[in-house]
Structure 1
Amino acid sequence: MKEYIITIDGGTTNTRCILWGSGQRRIDEERRAVGVRNTSIDGSNSKLKQAVRECIEQLLERNGVAYDQIHRIIGSGMITSDVGLVVVPWITAPAGVKELAANIAEISLPDICPIPICFIPGIKNGEGPFDFDNIEAMDIMRGEEVESVAILDRFPPGKPMLFILPGSHNKFVSVDREGKITGCLTSISGELLASITNDTIIAKSVNREFVSQENYDREWVLKGYEIASRAGLGRACFTARILMLFYDNDPKKLANYILGATIAGDMQAVRNSTALKVDKDTLAVVGGKEPLRTAVADVLKYDGYFREVETFCPEGDIPLSARGAYIVARETGIL
């Protein structure tokens, strides 16, 4: 009897596979520190293919499962891109669970596994043509669409929402009253934070350390946000050195200050970008890991643009991407 499902979530630096039993029951997980970044560096996706193959085989062997017991293998994320396993075209917003399900691509990759893999497409904001007058309205996602589906499962349609998914690339996903994704906005503020923390003159001020959940300091986050909003990120960051020399040299506080400063540009983008469809009545829902989740939520509340701000913490140890992929596959009737 084919009673098992495997979901594959491929990102920039990591690949994760989860084995599911009946009734959306998570059984086991296997991951590798290999992602599409390796493809970009090597010019070949052979390492990525090997990582996915090893993850699947390890899951099956460890749990005494054979391929003929696998009902479906479902893939999502950057593995559907030109630096992934296969290229699956984006679908165009607005799009929800039904549209994602209708555009799943079932592709055989025998050098990975003997079962076809069902790939969930990403979503793009528009079709074009584009030029400098409208290019800022364009954005793309691969992986965040299934994360958004998982969050939507907890926040039923009925009001417009903005999902904030902090990470190395902060992603903002707007959703309409019908539960369809209407667009997204991406920033590299997470990468900027990493660069400022490790590779600038500010590294000494923050002791090359990021904010931990235990050392989170709302006051200093908001001070960084305030100064960056007023004077810009570059000036706000150098002010961290001034603070160290003339006010308070606690690297933990200064790391919080820098965190707030890097968030400021994203708040400006959300208010002014043409990539999103949001207004003051949009419910802002902040996901991601701590302390980024709390920091972004605190800044949003302090900023005051959105009347409602909530945080989203996933239940249990099932990743949003895997849960969302399962929901999309279930919509197709293949589960």
Structure 2
Amino acid sequence: MVTPVLIGIDWGSTSLRAFLIGADGSVLREHAAAKGASTLHGHPAFVAALDEVAGAWRRAQPPLPLLACGMVGSQHGWLEVPYVRAPAGATELAGGLAQPGDTALRIVPGVLCNDGLLPPDLMRGEETQIVGALAQHPQLADSCVILPGTHSKWTHVAQGRIGRFATHMTGELYAVLRQHSVLGRLMPPEVTPDMDAFLAGVTAARDHGELGLPHQLFAVRSLGVTARLRPGALPDYLSGLLIGHELRAGLAWRAGHGLRELPLALVGAAPLCERYQLALAHCGQAADLVLDNTAPAGLLALARAARLLS
């Protein structure tokens, strides 16, 4: 039997996931609820949501520490936890933990990248996934880590610390365009994945991206109006176009910062990582490592760095 040592919380804007984490890093149990940080208001609501997903574990084993990452620590969350500045690793993140009120919960800070040359960039939640990826795969101590998602991150990890990074609002753009723009009017609400259409979008971005994303986006409509793509293929064409532009910019960013020879890792939900793998291969770049959710491993590593474990 593996002994539980930590209750870890991955608390995003729209979802809440709790993990009972063992001493060896394994997830012994998991609870989830649609109680994201952006859906809750006021201290009592957050307390109730935490009790819903982790209350039984806490009552069974009161000494277990609680550690949360994600948007729960944002200005729209339970408690705004100040960002630590990049470069930052487990030590800096552990030093920035904060507690909301008199609760036993500690919240991980995000990371701010602000060199004064470009607009600042932010991450909150992804830093814990990166710490987890490093804990599981030390060879990523010097690497380029891509975290696909609503706000995809391209991160330079140097000597085990998060250095510069760049955010792409790819997932959010897809959702907004799919649901609230003229492009979505031709798309049926439910579709079967069409990877040929997806790769056609990636190809358009790869080969003709100099035309500009605003121009190429209109092709999602024109290809549908002229029946060159069937309605059910349009969502995947849009996805491929957006991800293709992200990869075009991200791979150029990687090369421009001298990271071309470093390992390239994908960290995130398996279906989305598979899509990015396919798009990367289509652009002539393979991912060296693909990892699923590494937040529990990151939370355990940060708990150790903060000396929360008995």
Residue 216 of structure 1 is matched in structure 2 by 195
Q: Does structure 1 residue 186 correspond to structure 2 residue 182? A: no
Change (3 A) 1:158 1:37: closer
Q: Distance in 1 between matches of 2:46 and 2:257?
A: 36
Deviation at 1:273, TM superposition (A): 5.8
Percent pairwise identity: 24
Q: Distance in 1 between matches of 2:217 and 2:265?
A: 27
Change (3 A) 1:17 1:109: farther
What letter is aligned with 2:195? Y
Q: State how 1:106-121 maps to structure 2 within 5 Å.
A: 107=99, 109-110=101-102, 113=103, 116-121=104-109
Q: State how 1:1-335 maps to structure 2 within 5 Å.
A: 4-39=5-40, 44-60=42-58, 65-67=60-62, 70-101=63-94, 103-105=95-97, 107=99, 109-110=101-102, 113=103, 116-126=104-114, 130=116, 134-136=117-119, 138-157=120-139, 160-176=142-158, 178-209=159-190, 212=193, 215-217=194-196, 219-226=199-206, 229-270=209-250, 277-304=257-284, 309-314=287-292, 319-335=293-309
User: Contact conserved, 1:164 with 1:285, CA < 8 A, in 2?
Assistant: yes
Q: Distance in 2 between matches of 1:297 and 1:230?
A: 23
Deviation at 1:248, TM superposition (A): 3.2
Change (3 A) 1:99 1:277: farther
Residue range with higher mean Cα deviation, 265-274 or 288-297: 265-274
User: Contact conserved, 1:220 with 1:260, CA < 8 A, in 2?
Assistant: yes
Q: Give the total of aligned pairs.
A: 305
What letter is aligned with 2:202? L
Residue range with higher mean Cα deviation, 276-285 or 158-167: 276-285
Deviation at 1:209, TM superposition (A): 4.6
What letter is aligned with 1:139? D
Change (3 A) 1:152 1:243: same
Deviation at 1:14, TM superposition (A): 1.2
- State the Cα deviation string for residues 227-266 of structure 1 (Å, max 9, x = none): 6613222322221222223353333433221111112332
TM-score by length of 2: 0.84
Deviation at 1:8, TM superposition (A): 1.5
TM-score by length of 1: 0.79
Q: CA RMSD in A?
A: 2.9
Change (3 A) 1:98 1:35: same
- State the Cα deviation string for residues 253-310 of structure 1 (Å, max 9, x = none): 3322111111233235435669x94532233212223443233233334434x6x533
